[in-house]
């Protein structure tokens, strides 16, 4: 059938404006704009005019500036790698999980370590009693590593390890375990995170101060470039920044600025940029802002290409940003948790549309505890279904040419570039981190986001809207921390009894001497020590003698939460009650917000501290990594009414009763204890019986918890 010419009348943008005004609020079409957390106004309608002047709206995948993907054919030839990030208390359990996952369609292994390992402590160290085997696998020596990778062929399976603080002994353990499996270093493929700058900003699983930490990174890049050509020596991570509250533009800008700093460090060691840059990789969080996440990943490739051209990189592999992605852990809700399956699917699709090279999908129960086998299977199958059933993989960068997406990509790039230039003006990312500026930027974004949720402005289904009248309990994976620790201590005793201790000591002394002189390569020396059965803690200690342990300044932002909390209902009344308490008792209610054990995730603690201070409480912040004894002592010295323990990493059953016992022991059982964070409901009764006065799980509006704490304080002081 022949098509008549001009079959349909062409509408003009003015026609649409007139039509839209009729239904827009107050006749104002601009009121339909969505103002993103990054400060970008996303319009309800985009047209060809929006992309007419854009410089990169018609590029090709596999070619500069790689906006449409680092490979020419992308998923049409090879889909992304499906990874499962996991670590289950012991090396034996984790190994069993990896083998099952690989047999069921997983294509790589991603290792989560426990917090004791992250912070360079052996399992028998007195500071880690509540952390061993929690939130990941306990690794004390190469013997644990050998069990972890038993019957997993390390010449064929790529291994990703999330490790930064104790990166030297852990990477060395992997190399030696492979050697003893018969796999040489040049055959190893995978990634070590090794991104210490973001640890100082958000995640806090550092050991040494920034300067020696950067020296370690330089040594690892140098060693792997020479001996492990298939291995990615660093994964520059924005993931933890977004999890800590950063918006997409901040996450992208700070991550790329970190990358720039690492490149400078390697060049300063005398390395040629093209000898190592092709082995740098990145790691993004993918949250629920669907369009922004796709635009972020496209824009990041463009900006990284620009940054690397600034270093005069010639090899195309040096110019292309390759990335692993993980769906957001923060977006998972404890309430109505099966909704998380949907959230993770949407986030996984954004990661795929953004062009990720590998992907981990979170399990729906991770807001409550470590994933079960059942929830891990659903998470893995989410990817398999997208890969195998939808035909999404058949088209390379299907969002290209979209009026909205191309505009948004450019806006994201411009926003992030302005922040990168601001960082550069400060002297680079190490300076921006050292000053505390970068950390405060992220904390302000986190406080603002929480206020928007608590006031109902940002909807979270099942949490602040469409709530269930009654929550059904979910089966969770519980870890017997005492049993795991006892097993690890037994293995440590055996290693120390059967090795040549004089040789081990000589290898550790060589590490200390190298740290002192700056001569030699610290990874090379760590491999030698680990071969002789030195432990993770011993290698860390040998370096700590020279480098020292980093202590962070505890700062909090003020006024941000109050400014963004625009639901006056209850807020002003609560402020009034706090002022009345101050008038009656002669001082304000005083709380100390603390983090116990080795968990450095402090988003929740910082946001609560900010909001409580904005309400009129006197707020003290305990330093990270306190023992119950140290926390109790500070609480007594500061004469607080209440201690709030923020917990994420499953140590609450050990650490919270310990702080209550310590307060009692030190004669201060009038100080009440409340707990907030990731706590399975199954544990509530246990904590109440231990003496906890209030428990505030994920999704609790901060004003509601503040009111309850105030009432408890009133009760306690009479």
Q: Could you list the active site residues?
A: 85, 239-240, 595, 599, 601
Taking each helix axis from N to C terminus, what angle separates 403-425 and 290-310, rounded to the nearest 10 degrees? Answer: 50
In sequence order, what are the residues at sequence separation of 6 or more whose Cβ sits closer than 8 angstroms to the Cβ of residue 522?
168, 215, 216, 219, 511, 514, 515, 543
Instruction: Give me the half-sphere count of Cα atoms (radius 13 Å) on the Cβ side of residue 591.
Output: 32
| Of 536, 646, 490, 598, residue with least CA distance to 135 | 598
Cβ-contact 114, 87 below 8 angstroms: yes
In sequence order, what are the residues at sequence separation of 6 or more whose Cβ sits closer than 8 angstroms to the Cβ of residue 304?
66, 256, 259, 282, 319, 320, 321
Token pair, residue 493, equals 């005793």
Cβ-contact 396, 61 below 8 angstroms: yes
In sequence order, what are the residues at sequence separation of 6 or more whose Cβ sits closer than 8 angstroms to the Cβ of residue 646?
593, 594, 595, 602, 604, 605, 608, 675, 676, 677
Cβ-contact 197, 165 below 8 angstroms: no
In sequence order, what are the residues at sequence separation of 6 or more whose Cβ sits closer than 8 angstroms to the Cβ of residue 357?
70, 80, 81, 281, 322, 323, 324
Cβ-contact 461, 224 below 8 angstroms: no
Largest CA distance in the chain: 93
Cβ-contact 162, 530 below 8 angstroms: no
In sequence order, what are the residues at sequence separation of 6 or more whose Cβ sits closer than 8 angstroms to the Cβ of residue 108?
81, 82, 83, 157, 158, 159, 160, 190, 358
Strand-pairing partners, residue 234, are 280
Q: Which helix (H) or strand (E) holds 158?
A: strand 158-161
| Of 17, 35, 15, residue with least CA distance to 27 | 17
Q: Cα–Cα distances in Å, from 10 out to 5, 16, 43, 401, 431? A: 12, 11, 22, 21, 56
Measured CA to CA, the distance from residue 240 to residue 255 in angstroms comes to 10
- Three-state DSSP at 621 gives strand
Cβ-contact 623, 552 below 8 angstroms: yes
Which residue bears the tokens 């034996």?
92
């Amino acid at each position: 059938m022949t098509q008549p010419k001009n079959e349909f009348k062409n509408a003009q943008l003015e026609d649409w404006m007139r039509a839209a005004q009729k239904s827009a609020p107050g006749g104002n079409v601009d009121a339909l704009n969505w103002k993103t957390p990054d400060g970008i106004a996303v319009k309800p309608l985009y047209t060809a005019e929006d992309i007419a002047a854009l410089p990169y709206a018609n590029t090709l995948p596999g070619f500069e500036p790689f906006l449409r993907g680092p490979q020419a054919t992308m998923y049409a030839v090879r889909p992304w790698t499906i990874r499962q990030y996991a670590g289950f208390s012991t090396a034996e359990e984790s190994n069993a999980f990896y083998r099952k996952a690989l047999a069921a369609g997983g294509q790589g292994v991603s290792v989560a370590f426990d917090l004791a390992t992250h912070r360079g402590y052996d399992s028998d160290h007195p500071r880690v009693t509540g952390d061993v085997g929690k939130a990941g696998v306990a690794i004390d020596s190469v013997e644990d590593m050998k069990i972890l990778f038993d019957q997993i062929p390390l010449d064929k399976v790529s291994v990703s390890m999330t490790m930064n603080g104790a990166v030297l002994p852990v990477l060395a353990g992997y190399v030696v375990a492979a050697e003893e499996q018969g796999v040489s270093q040049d055959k190893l493929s995978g990634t070590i995170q090794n991104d210490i700058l973001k640890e100082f900003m958000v995640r806090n699983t550092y050991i040494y101060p920034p300067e020696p930490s950067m020296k370690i990174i330089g040594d690892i890049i140098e060693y792997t470039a020479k001996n492990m050509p298939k291995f990615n020596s660093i994964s520059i991570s924005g993931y933890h920044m977004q999890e800590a509250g950063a918006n997409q533009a901040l996450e992208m800008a700070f991550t790329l600025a970190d990358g720039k700093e690492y490149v400078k460090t390697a060049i300063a060691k005398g390395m040629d940029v093209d000898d190592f840059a092709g082995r740098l990789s990145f790691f993004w969080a993918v949250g629920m802002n669907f369009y922004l996440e796709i635009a972020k990943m496209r824009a990041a490739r463009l900006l990284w290409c620009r940054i690397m051209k600034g270093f005069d990189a010639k090899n195309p592999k040096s110019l292309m940003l390759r990335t692993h992605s993980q769906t957001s852990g923060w977006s998972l809700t404890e309430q109505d948790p099966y909704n998380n399956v949907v959230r993770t699917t949407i986030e996984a699709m954004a990661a795929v549309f953004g062009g990720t090279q590998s992907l981990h999908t979170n399990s729906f129960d991770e807001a409550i505890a470590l994933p079960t086998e059942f929830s891990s299977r659903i998470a893995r199958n989410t990817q398999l279904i997208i890969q195998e059933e939808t035909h999404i993989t058949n088209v390379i960068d299907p969002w290209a040419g979209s009026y909205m997406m191309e505009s948004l990509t450019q806006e994201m790039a411009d926003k992030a570039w302005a922040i990168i230039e601001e960082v550069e003006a400060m002297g680079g990312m190490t300076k921006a981190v050292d000053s505390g500026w970068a950390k405060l930027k992220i904390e302000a974004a986190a406080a603002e986001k929480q206020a928007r949720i608590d006031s109902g402005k940002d909807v979270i289904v099942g949490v602040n809207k469409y709530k269930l009248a009654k929550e059904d309990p979910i089966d969770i994976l519980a870890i017997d921390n005492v049993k795991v620790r006892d097993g690890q201590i037994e293995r440590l005793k055996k290693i120390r009894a059967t090795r040549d201790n004089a040789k081990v000591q000589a290898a550790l002394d060589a590490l200390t001497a190298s740290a002192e002189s700056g001569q030699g390569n610290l990874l090379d020396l760590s491999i030698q020590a680990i071969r002789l059965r030195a432990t993770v803690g011993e290698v860390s200690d040998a370096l700590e003698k020279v480098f020292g342990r980093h202590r962070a300044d505890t700062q909090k932002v003020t006024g941000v939460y109050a400014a963004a909390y625009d639901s006056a209902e209850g807020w002003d009344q609560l402020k009034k009650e706090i002022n009345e308490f101050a008038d009656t008792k002669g001082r304000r209610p005083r709380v100390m917000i603390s983090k116990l054990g080795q968990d450095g995730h402090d988003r929740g603690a910082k946001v609560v501290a900010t909001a409580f201070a904005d309400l009129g409480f006197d707020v003290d912040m305990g330093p990270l990594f306190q023992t119950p004894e140290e926390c109790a002592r500070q609480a007594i010295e500061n004469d607080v009414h209440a201690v709030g323990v923020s917990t994420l990493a499953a140590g609450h059953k050990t650490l919270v009763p310990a702080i209550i016992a310590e307060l009692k022991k030190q004669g201060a059982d009038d100080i009440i204890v409340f707990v907030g964070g990731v706590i399975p409901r199954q544990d509530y009764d246990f904590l109440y019986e231990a003496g906890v006065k209030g428990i505030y799980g994920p999704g609790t509006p901060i004003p509601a918890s503040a009111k309850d704490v105030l009432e408890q304080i009133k009760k306690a002081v009479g």
